[in-house]
Structure 1
């Protein structure tokens, strides 16, 4: 069997082999090991599975019907808000044993005992994020075409490769359709890019906020059409024009109407009634940030974008009034930043900047 073939147990069971098999429910409770024999109140069976008669007796009388003390998940590390860590700490010892902490290398790849690892990854779904994706399905996650490294590749390539190697597995790459710098908006779905982390021949599933592109096994024409469908509509026509000029898609192809409203305002319209019910918060899986910290961060980002814009204007009269006398509604935010009682000119300036950011964003 696989356990003897892999050297996990000996053909003639030792007491250590017996303890291992009983721990995981392979041998039923009620049996014990006694000097080379499996023994219960009624029987005594030689612990030699090379012997056909003994093996058949063990199979008939000793084997359990359900495994136990197994693990639900292999994990290399955990990352989340404090309440996530608290939940882990509050687990019972029995629950905690179901999480098998191991090396990232073991989680990230198939090599070594491949037969077992394939069974452990049945119908696996490997989900990763990316910076950009091209219209033909290549993905950029770790660096820019300038050579600048943004992050390590981590296990992304390993997971994508596993998704193609394993039966029934899929790789899912999530990428925001756009990115902003000041008032400038750029598409993250590009015709081409000078650096790739995942090549086009390993394309599978790409997801943006506007939909899902199922790319595996598709032609370039089908892939390009699917990627344009999940791009921001402000950039779709440019992508389509380039695809036609490159003769990768028919000249008469048109983007389906259903995908022509891929715009932030469309998403906001869809999500608004749900957000009013308290759904789809900024951090759906929880966060250690307080509500004040979230609003401060948003206000300062908005101010940064305004200041980077060529259309940046001086504060309005109503905003300027709030800079002169700090409104009561701003105090919780200033207290969090310890700017509620500025004691130096620099702190006064920072206080006014924060108040302006909050006021101009409509947060106070």
Structure 2
């Protein structure tokens, strides 16, 4: 009898052990972004992804990307993430044509993929078949909106769009929208390619201004670079906000809002990076665990124009880590 009871206890223990293991099934969601992760905007995106992961005990989040923008490193992170066989993938479609050969086989093999921040804007039949895209609904419109925001106040002699991520399709598209909208209004406008280093980029912009002193507007897609430029312009004797109107096409920061209050930065477009991370991971997890289909693409998070009048509310949200 004792042997039978002991055997039953062992059997029950084994069943409970394996039941516990089954109940502890974890769902791994990889987020791979072009970054850089040191940028305030991407830190915000990471916090949004973390907020979703905190809601579900069985969700294991892996968030990776280069420290500073580097497309080759981004691709290496993407390939490593896919090779790890996650339950779902969230990624930026930074250069869709270059990512075709990586993502299409993975999707065909059953990997759920959600795109955030940078979309595939090719014809529908040519696009990578991700489940949905979360971010600015039109990068071209983001650039055009930046131009219209300026044109509502002034018609400049010359306008400059700065591209710090050459080859990143969404940055190129925003520049196209900005430049073409300016040109339609009769304003001479062009793009200046700088690179990922904000200090070097500021020097290239100063050199451009000396060669084109009639430039009155500079639009930049990166707020860290724009903040660096403000100080460099002061050093050269310019008065940001008076001599030159400055704006960021994406992602304001606390420092950016301080400059806005002082009148040194004129506008920013907010794409709500926190929401992109939050929704991207949420949709991926729900698909992996419950086979729920996400909302149809695009799930728009912007652009939203920010000017001096919006600063007080946004400052509070930035302090709380949401914007």
Give the alignment's TM-score, normalised by structure 2. Answer: 0.27
Bigger share in strand: 2
**Which one scores higher on RCO, CA 8 angstroms, separation ≥ 6?**
2
Bigger share in helix: 2
Give the alignment's TM-score, normalised by structure 1. Answer: 0.25
